């Protein structure tokens, strides 16, 4: 199991609400200043979570960003300043900027999902929804349990067959046949095992009463405060958005609302919201190094 | 009326139109969020209905086992990029019926992303796989098409090329395109065409080579469990 | 007070209604009793146990009834039954439902709809009692077989059952984990007063603590008595089941001992010291023939080193040895020591990074796969299920070789002719093992590798299996097996080696090898240590006793 960072140790509801907010706002708001803020926050947290490898992956996203930016104007010919013609269609500056914005949104979303996958593990998700959708949560938990087991079994079957001289061929057709035999054996084995699993469930009273769900994660006062803060900040962002503080139109003409006066509040709230995990992560790291110094 | 039925009706009559309305009112490119919300809302009734009828242990285990096998199946075949996932889902639908087919498909998509990473495509994939499995259940039910491997294989090819592939591609269109136009849709579909065709071929090969023994194995367990569908 | 009362229970499965699985079974189980149910596989033990819990009771035609606290069992709700009657099954893996240890512990309580506080308290209690707290947050997939079975037990005990039913709970575990598990069961019985009903073939560990032993044969209860008396009955009735009794007991009756029958090694030693004269006439049995290694080794390995990953630990650290032609060579050693890895290296599945393997006089790497696995070497995997692909045993065999005559020959040797048209998964554990062996034999190997072949087998299947191996040896096939099963190795192997720390140590004949060990050896050897010199099987101890007593007269 991967060790969780300070934010990851919060109640799953806190984690979930954060990512709903971060990804939701990230996709909906196309104002470039907000996008830049989002990219910065997502990038920082992504690197905190992924360490040295984080850099590499972020760099790998750059070509994708450029490609998406360049492709977009091909399909969006609106705009005032024509740069050149492609296949007789205008390729405009506005569309290019819009393309960069859309590509940026996409990259930010990928980064947030990268963080999400580290933080909101399967058991957090199922414990979060265990009370609402007990059967489906249980179904997921069972799948999580079975998948590594079946992968191990599939290797075991392949090895067993090779040790009697089956499936040692190297051509594609032979490999395919070998794989099919393994898959077939695997499904038999899994199905027969499932009979026992079903018995074990019924023997332990599955289906006799309304299921409750063991809550490993407890909602603490801090979690409650975090939730409240997140909701307040989120509401502020929505408020500013409704008042038009985040309006951004690219084509046919660039019309981007200035971030000044009251609408700075929106940006501030947005940044504060997105920085919550980073702040918690850094605070924890700092505390540790201070306590180390004291020793 | 049952709680789950109420929920379905409410979803169709209220939630979906409300989302659509809100989606059109939002400025900018809100279609990704709108469409994803609608996809999720469309799946809710199925999940609620499943919850509502309190599935038995063996139903649950069978769906879990088939979904787990579908996810693990890609490790079993020693060829890169060869994913028999959808073939396993189709076969589950054929043997265990539309509802189980939907559940196996949707759970496979969702659970496998916990291993390989969730993304913006998750709900779309759940819908694509789930509906594919459900369709297999309807098409090959008792009075439907005969359960011959080549017929199932043909069905598999068509579903992947016409439904699963395009649906997944759509989730990308909404995200990466600044303006949705027919050209853009066509371009993305064409770009995905090669990958979809190769997926479809994997599915066909798996179903042809592997369909019959697996159908027999699944039927054996169905009889062993005393399930009559 | 009576817990269970089984009255005139007769049962047959719908598919084979002419064959009754249970015949007129009458049994009363008192509160707090520790009952061992034994019998050959197929004698109806599992079917009987499954009748003690309604949701597990098989479909079929049935007469008679099962009373639980004087109420017919099927009138008690399944929720109540779930909580009050705990049932642990054979396979540690398949019983686990969820992916985390904590969730598995809570699973039963969740099903019963317990509230949060009760669940927390119970789960914490169980984790502490069973020593699970250190792996409370782990993935169940990261647990060993023994830990998994302990988890299954703990998650059932969390529901606080009054009765604990265990159906061969240790058959898939290695000896150390098995005896830990059985000790835990005893602890539950003595400390909590939970009634225990268990079927087991590792009787040495539980016989001394059982209150009653119930013996079944062909669906009937043929004996129901205290453990000490059961042995006498089985010996006098010449029941095959006598073979499954603990070693001291077998020695006692075979040597026509007098006094109370010993149940443990300690009691056995006491009895032996009392019985045989101080001045022994015969101290040791003649040495077993030593195979001439120099003449024709089938397999020679020199300084094998192997690891799975580049930076991983070495699993094999200089393995050297020779396997004489036509012998049964056993490699014993602890769990996870790398014995299975050694076999994989020997049949070319894994390549050593240093060292040499010579098979039939030719370096292993010079073989092509077709050549190596056809009339060369072949391996029987630990789990026979990993070889089953088809829907009948016959098809399984045809996958390997289409020659009908060979197929018949092999199925005769393996004694599976009767089950050729069954589904491989419908066979019993022992039959599955032999069907898999038949599949392996159809490659016509000259060297056969066996990975824990006796795992999960009861003593009769072991005997059948040993006779199969004898036949193969007569045909000139050399067999190398790795095993935990010291009793089996002592009885049937020609040479035994200890595998430890990545090396093969101390090789010898079973008498030399187990005679020299004082901990890692058979019960017979432990019992006769200091009295006799190389008696490593119950038969040998009894033989020496008899020889000495006869001399005395």
CB contact under 8 A, B176 and A28: no
Q: What is the pLDDT of residue A33?
A: 93
Chain-wide mean pLDDT for chain B?
87
C378:A214 CB<8 A = no
B29 to chain A: which residues are within 8 Å by CB?
30, 102
Q: What is the pLDDT of residue B227?
A: 61
In this predicted structure, what is the pLDDT of residue A220? 93
Query: Among B54, B78, B98, which residue terminates a domain?
Result: B54
Give which of A194, A206, A255 to mutate to test B binding, by max B Cβ within 10 Å.
A194
B62, B47: one domain: no
Considering only the beta carbons, identify the residue of A160, A166, A193 that sits closest to C94: A193
Same domain? B61 vs B109 = yes
With cut-offs at 50, 70 and 90, classify the pLDDT of residue B226: low
* Rounded distance between C-alpha atoms, residue C91 and residue C406, angstroms: 34
Boundary residue ending a domain (B35, B54, B73): B54
- The verdict on B18 and B84 lying in the same domain is no
Say which range, A23-27, A283-287, C382-386, C545-549, has the weakest mean pLDDT: C545-549
Bigger pLDDT: A206 or A253? A206
Alpha helix positions (H), C278-413 = 339-346, 369-373, 393-400, 404-413
Quick one: average pLDDT of A285-295?
A: 84
CA dist., res. A245 & res. A261, Å (int): 10
Question: What global pTM score does this model have?
Answer: 0.92
Across the range B81-98, mean pLDDT stands at: 92
What pLDDT shows up at residue A34? Answer: 93
Q: Are residues B106 and B12 in the same domain?
A: no
d(CA C52, CA C74): 10
What's the rounded Cα separation, in Å, for the pair C382 and C173? 12
Please tell me the distance in Å from A142's CA to the nearest CA on chain C.
5
Range of the domain at C63: 2-242
Calculate how close chain A gets to B162, using CA atoms only, in Å. 23
Q: Are residues B219 and B119 in the same domain?
A: yes
Task: Judge: A143–B71 Cβ closer than 8 Å, yes or no.
Answer: yes
Same domain, B129 and B192: yes
Question: Domain of B104: which CATH number?
Answer: 1.10.1760.20
Chains contacting C (3+ CB pairs below 8 angstroms): A, B
- Which domain CATH number covers C458? 3.40.50.300
The answer to whether the beta carbons of residues A246 and A256 sit under 8 Å apart is no
Give the residue on A whose Cα is nearest the Cα of B226: A195
Q: How confident is the model at residue B11, as a pLDDT? A: 73
Pairing of strands C71-72, C61-68: antiparallel
pLDDT value at position C293? 54
Residue A1's pLDDT is 45
* Shared domain check, B219 and B170: yes
For residue A172, give the nearest of B73, B79, B107 by CB distance.
B79
- CB within 8 Å: B78 and A179: yes
pLDDT score of C89: 94
pLDDT at res. A13 = 94
Instruction: State whether A209 and C79 contact (CB < 8 Å).
Output: yes
Judgement on whether residues C392 and C533 belong to the same structural domain of the protein: no
Compute how many other C-beta atoms are within 10 angstroms of the C-beta atom of residue B218. 20
Specify whether B70 is located in the same domain as B173.
yes
User: Does residue C528 sit in the same domain as residue C496?
Assistant: no
Q: What mean pLDDT is predicted for residues C129-152?
A: 92
Chains B–C, number of C-beta pairs less than 8 Å apart: 8
Each residue's pLDDT tens digit, A98-129: 999 999 999 999 999 999 999 998 889 998 98
Co-location of C274 and C376 in the same domain = no
| Cβ proximity of C146 and C174 under 8 Å | yes
Among the partner-chain residues A117, A135, A193, the one whose CB lies closest to the CB of B51 is A135
Query: What would the mean pLDDT of C75-99 be, rounded to a whole number?
Result: 93
Residues 175-214 of B with CB under 8 A from C: 213
Q: Do A211 and C111 touch (CB under 8 A)?
A: yes
- If asked whether residues C359 and C392 sit together in one domain, one would say yes
**Structural domain harbouring B44:** 1-54
* C77 & C218 share domain: yes
Whether the pLDDT of residue C512 is over 70: the answer is yes
Residue pLDDT, tens place only, C300-356? 999 999 998 888 889 999 999 989 888 899 999 887 778 889 999 998 888 899 999
Give percent of chain C above pLDDT 90.
53
C399 three-state secondary structure: helix
Better pLDDT: C286 or C245: C245
Same domain, B134 and B114: yes
Residues of A in contact with B175 (CB under 8 A): 27, 102, 105-106, 109
Number of domains observed in the structure of chain B = 2
Q: Based on the domain organization, do C553 and C510 belong to the same domain?
A: no
Residues B162 and B208 reside in one and the same domain: yes
Q: Are residues C325 and C419 located together in one domain of the fold?
A: yes
pLDDT (average), residues C152-179:
92
pLDDT at residue C335, rounded to an integer: 79
C320 and C405 share a domain? yes
Whether C110 and chain A come into contact, CB under 8 Å, resolves to yes
In terms of domains, do B60 and B46 share one? no
C264 and C177, same domain (yes or no): no
Q: Do C202 and C84 belong to one domain?
A: yes
Torsion of the alpha carbons at A149, A151, A156 and A161, rounded to the nearest 10: 140
The Cβ of residue C125 has, within 10 Å, a number of other Cβ atoms equal to: 15
Our count of domains for chain C comes to 3
Q: How far is A285 from chain B (nearest CA, A)?
A: 26
Whether residue C237 is found in the same domain as residue C268: no
| C177 and C195 co-located in one domain | yes
* Residues of chain B with C-beta less than 8 angstroms from the C-beta of A42: none
Count chain A–chain C contacts defined by CB atoms under 8 A. 177
Q: What is the pLDDT of residues A267-288, one digit of tens each?
A: 999 999 999 999 999 999 898 8
Residue ending a domain, among B15, B39, B54, is B54
Q: Are residues B160 and B200 in the same domain?
A: yes
């Amino acid at each position: 199991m991967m060790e969780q960072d300070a934010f990851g140790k919060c109640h799953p509801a806190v984690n979930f609400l954060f990512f709903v907010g971060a990804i939701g706002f990230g996709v909906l708001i196309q104002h470039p200043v907000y996008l830049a803020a989002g990219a910065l926050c997502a990038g920082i947290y992504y690197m905190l979570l992924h360490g040295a490898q984080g850099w590499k992956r972020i760099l790998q996203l750059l070509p994708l960003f450029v490609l998406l930016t360049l492709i977009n104007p091909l399909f969006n010919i609106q705009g005032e300043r024509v740069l050149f013609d492609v296949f007789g269609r205008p390729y405009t500056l506005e569309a290019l900027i819009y393309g960069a914005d859309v590509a940026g949104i996409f990259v930010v979303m990928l980064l947030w999902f990268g963080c999400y996958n580290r933080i909101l593990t399967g058991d957090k998700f199922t414990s979060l929804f265990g009370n609402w959708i007990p059967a489906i949560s249980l179904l997921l938990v069972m799948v999580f349990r079975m998948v590594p087991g079946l992968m191990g079994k599939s290797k075991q079957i392949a090895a067993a067959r090779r040790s009697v001289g089956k499936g040692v061929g190297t051509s594609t057709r032979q490999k395919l046949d070998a794989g099919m035999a393994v898959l077939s054996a695997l499904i038999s084995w899994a199905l027969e095992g499932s009979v026992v699993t079903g018995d074990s469930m019924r023997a332990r009273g599955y289906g006799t009463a309304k299921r409750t769900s063991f809550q490993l994660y407890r909602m603490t006062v801090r979690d409650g405060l975090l939730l409240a803060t997140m909701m307040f900040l989120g509401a502020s962002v929505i408020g500013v958005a409704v008042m038009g503080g985040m309006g951004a139109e690219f084509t046919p003409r660039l019309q981007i609302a200035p971030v000044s006066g009251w609408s700075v509040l929106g940006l501030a709230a947005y940044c504060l919201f997105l920085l919550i995990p980073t702040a918690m992560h850094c605070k924890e790291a700092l505390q540790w190094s201070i306590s180390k110094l004291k020793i | 009326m049952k709680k789950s039925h109420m929920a379905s009706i409410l979803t169709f009559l209220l939630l979906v139109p409300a989302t659509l309305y809100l989606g059109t009112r939002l400025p900018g490119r809100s279609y990704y969020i709108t469409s994803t919300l609608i996809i999720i809302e469309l799946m809710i009734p199925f999940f609620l209905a499943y919850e509502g009828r309190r599935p038995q242990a063996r139903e649950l285990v069978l769906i879990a086992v088939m979904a787990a096998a579908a996810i693990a199946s890609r490790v079993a075949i020693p060829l890169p990029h060869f994913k028999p996932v959808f073939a396993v889902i189709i076969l589950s639908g054929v043997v265990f019926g539309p509802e189980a087919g939907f559940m196996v498909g949707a759970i496979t998509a969702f659970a496998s992303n916990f291993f390989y990473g969730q993304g913006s495509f998750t709900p779309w994939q759940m819908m694509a796989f789930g509906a594919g499995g459900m369709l297999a259940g309807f098409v090959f039910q008792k009075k439907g098409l005969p359960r011959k491997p080549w017929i199932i294989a043909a069905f598999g090819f068509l579903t992947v090329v016409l439904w699963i592939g395009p649906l997944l591609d759509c989730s990308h269109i909404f995200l990466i395109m600044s303006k949705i136009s027919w050209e853009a849709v066509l371009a993305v579909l064409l770009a995905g065409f090669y990958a979809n065709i190769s997926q479809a071929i994997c599915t066909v090969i798996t179903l042809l080579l592997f369909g019959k023994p697996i159908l027999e194995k699944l039927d054996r367990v169905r009889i062993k469990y005393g399930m009559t569908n | 007070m009576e817990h269970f009362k089984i009255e005139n229970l007769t049962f047959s499965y719908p598919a084979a209604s002419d064959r009754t699985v249970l015949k007129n079974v009458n049994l009363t189980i008192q509160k707090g009793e520790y009952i061992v149910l034994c019998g050959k596989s197929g004698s109806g033990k599992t079917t009987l146990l499954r009748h003690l819990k309604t949701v597990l009771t098989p479909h079929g035609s049935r007469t008679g009834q099962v009373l639980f606290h004087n109420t017919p069992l099927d009138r008690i709700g399944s929720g109540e039954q779930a909580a009050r009657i705990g049932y642990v099954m054979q396979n540690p893996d398949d019983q686990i439902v969820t992916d985390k240890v904590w969730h598995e512990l809570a699973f039963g309580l969740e099903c019963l709809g317990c509230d949060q506080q009760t669940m927390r308290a119970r789960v914490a209690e169980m984790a502490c009692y069973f020593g699970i707290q250190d792996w409370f947050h782990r993935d169940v997939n990261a647990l060993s077989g023994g830990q998994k079975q302990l988890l299954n037990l703990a998650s059932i005990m969390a529901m606080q059952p009054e009765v604990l039913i265990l159906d061969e709970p240790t058959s898939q575990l290695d000896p150390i984990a098995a005896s830990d598990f059985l000790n835990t069961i005893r602890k539950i019985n003595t400390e909590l007063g939970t009634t225990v009903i268990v079927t087991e073939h590792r009787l040495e560990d539980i016989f001394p603590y059982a209150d009653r032993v119930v013996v079944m044969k062909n669906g009937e209860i043929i004996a129901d008595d205290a453990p000490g008396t059961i042995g006498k009955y089985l010996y006098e009735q010449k029941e095959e089941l006598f073979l499954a009794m603990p070693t001291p007991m077998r020695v006692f009756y075979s040597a026509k001992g007098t006094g109370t029958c010993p149940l443990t090694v300690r009691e056995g030693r006491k009895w032996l010291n009392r019985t045989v004269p101080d001045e022994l006439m015969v101290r040791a049995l003649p040495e077993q023939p030593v195979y001439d290694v120099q003449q024709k080794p089938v397999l020679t390995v020199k300084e094998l080193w192997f690891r799975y990953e580049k930076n991983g630990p070495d699993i094999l650290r200089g393995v050297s040895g020779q396997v004489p032609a036509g012998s049964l060579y056993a490699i014993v050693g602890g769990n996870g020591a790398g014995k299975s890895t050694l076999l994989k290296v020997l049949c070319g599945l894994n390549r050593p990074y240093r060292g040499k393997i010579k098979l039939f006089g030719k370096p292993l790497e010079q073989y092509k796969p077709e050549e190596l696995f056809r009339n060369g070497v072949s391996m029987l995997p630990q789990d026979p299920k990993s070889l089953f692909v088809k829907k009948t045993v016959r098809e399984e065999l045809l996958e390997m070789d289409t020659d009908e005559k060979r197929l018949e020959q092999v199925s005769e040797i393996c004694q599976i002719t009767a089950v050729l048209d069954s589904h491989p998964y419908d066979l019993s554990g022992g039959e599955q093992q032999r069907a898999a062996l038949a599949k392996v034999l159809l490659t016509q190997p000259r060297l056969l590798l066996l990975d824990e072949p006796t795992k999960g087998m009861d003593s009769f299947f072991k005997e059948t299996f040993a006779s199969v191996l004898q036949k193969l040896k007569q045909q000139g096939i050399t067999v190398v097996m790795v095993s935990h099963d010291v009793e089996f190795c002592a009885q049937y192997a020609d040479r035994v080696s200890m595998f430890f720390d990545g090396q093969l140590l101390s090789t010898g004949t079973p008498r030399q090898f187990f005679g020299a060990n004082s901990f890692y050896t058979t019960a017979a050897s432990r019992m006769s240590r200091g009295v006799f010199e190389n008696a490593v099987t119950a038969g040998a101890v009894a033989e020496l006793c008899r020889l000495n007593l006869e001399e005395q007269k």
